[in-house]
Amino acid sequence: MEPILRAIDRIENRLAEPLSLSEIARVAGFSTYHFCRYFRAMTGGSVMGYVRARRLSLAAVAVRDGRERLIDIAFDAGFESQEAFTRAFKRAFGTTPGALRRGRTDIDPFYLMPLLSENWLRAKQEAIPMNPKFVTLEERKISGLRQRVSRGVEASLPELWMTLNARMNEYEDAVEGAAYGLCIHGVEGGPGDFDYLAGVQVRGEKPEPDGMETVTLQARDYAVFTFSPETTELPDEFRRAYAYIFDTWLPSSGYRIARASDFEYYEKHRFDATTLSGEIDIYIPVEEKAA
């Protein structure tokens, strides 16, 4: 848990100053992409979403209780104009800074983002202990439907899988027996965004169906973690699993995460997609740390 606590400490000390995602990840000791995955696993949200929420929450308290000018509070919160600050403030709290300052409205504490504490993180984590196995996979092609994931869009991923399943008969060269959920880093977009591809392995001999995309996984080493969901709330189950991988296993493993896609592996004879029960594998690309 130490990496995320270091990151949170840096965020708190720099809320009134420019702060980049790469800087936060560097303090935590991760690549930008994998820190975003780690932070989302631990908290359920994005890194920069947390930064924005903390800035707006402190700004709301300053507006309500202080005597600073609204424009100065806006600048301290990282906004270039009072107009932009007002728009973001209203989206977050349902009222304007002016109305709050004049006492016409108040803010429900529920909408304020508290400082993430070690106790909160430990309670949120509820890690799933797992012992990985290590495998070397040969190059393979994964084809399917791709979707950008950002700020809560994970909720629509089940629909992505349903659409893929309904179109499986369009593939002529699919390798039967398993499905893959690829988390693809290095995409353009907002901080912490990544692409998710729900797909199957293909032999690459036939054209892909319309609207599908094929990604090549290069040959490399993986640590494979297997877990059985205790509930049908898979986003929460994955959050717990990734929390264990990044926060408990990785720091003492002697490995570091390689810059490649991690992925979920659903083997049909071990996982029932209808009842969402059985075993799921998480493949994490790894390489040994230099001595």
Tokens representing 251?
């720091």
Q: Is the pLDDT of residue 182 over 90?
A: yes
Average pLDDT over residues 192-220: 89
Quick one: average pLDDT of 230-249?
A: 82
pLDDT for the residue numbered 192 = 53
Taking only the tens place, the pLDDT of each residue in 262-291 is: 999 999 999 998 899 999 999 999 998 765
Handedness of CA 169, 175, 179, 184 (dihedral sign): negative
Distances (CA, A) of 218 to 31, 124, 175, 257, 258: 19, 34, 17, 15, 12
CB within 8 A of 103, min separation 6: which ones?
A: none
Task: Count CB atoms within 10 A of the CB of residue 82.
Answer: 18
**What's the mean per-residue pLDDT of the chain?**
85
Residue 154: which pLDDT band, with cuts at 50, 70 and 90? low
pLDDT top residue among 122 and 189: 122
Per-residue pLDDT tens digits for 9-36: 999 998 888 889 999 999 998 888 888 8
Using 50, 70 and 90 to split pLDDT, how confident is the model at 189?
very low
Long-range contacts of 267-271 (CB under 8 A, 24+ apart): 267/177, 267/178, 268/176, 268/177, 268/178, 268/179, 269/177
Q: With left for phi above 0 and alpha for psi between -120 and 50, is residue 137 left, alpha or beta? A: beta
List the structure tokens of 187. Answer: 């995409």
One-letter amino acid at 242 equals Y
51-60, 88-97, 184-193: which range is least confident on average? 184-193
Q: CA-CA distance, 22 to 10, in Å (whole number)?
A: 12
Is the pLDDT reported for residue 44 higher than 80?
no
Which pLDDT score, from 0 to 100, does residue 153 have?
Answer: 47
What is the per-residue DSSP string for 141-199?
EEEEEEEEE-TTGGGGHHHHHHHHHHTGGG-SSB-TTEEEEEEE-S-SSSTT-EEEEEE
Cα angle value 149/150/155 (rounded, 5°)? 65
pLDDT beyond 70 at 126? no
Predicted confidence (pLDDT) at residue 197 exceeds the cutoff of 90 = yes
| Structure confidence at residue 291 (pLDDT) | 57
Beta bridge partners of 213: 144
The pLDDT score that the predictor gives to residue 86 is: 92
Quickly tell me which residue has 């709050």 as its tokens.
100
Give the C-alpha separation, 223 to 97, whole Å: 49
pLDDT at 212 over 80: yes
Enumerate domains of the chain plus CATH numbers. Answer: 2-125 (1.10.10.60), 133-288 (3.20.80.10)
pTM: 0.63
